[in-house]
Amino acid sequence: MTAPDTMMPETAASWIRTGKAVLIDVREPDEFSAAHIPMAISAPLAFVPGLLAEMDLPGDRTVIFQCQKGGRAAAACALAGGNRPVYNLAGGIEAWKAAGLPVVEAVPG
């Protein structure tokens, strides 16, 4: 198995903002609830096989998978299948935060 293509957070942010890509967060629901990248779709890794076939995305839309650090997102890239380009967000949400990009965080209640 070859390593999936990766995308740096700044490039991913630009592609998501312009509608060129969709971001799928493959972490568990509690992780997503605690903090997530704006516009991310929550789909835990177990749901990835067949997910892209079920989603009604335009054929030219790139998919970027994201997790905490990159391991689960790499697995998601391998499981995704299909004919559309998929990328692993390099360094996951941790690298996104380190790049100073926005994150939606749960408000302590």
Residue written as tokens 């799928």? 24
**Contact, 73 vs 65, CB < 8 A?**
yes
Question: From the candidates 13, 67, 73, 76, which is the catalytic residue?
Answer: 67
**Contact, 107 vs 33, CB < 8 A?**
no
Q: How far apart are CA 68 and CA 57, in angstroms?
A: 24
Q: Annotated catalytic, 67?
A: yes
Active-site residue set: 67
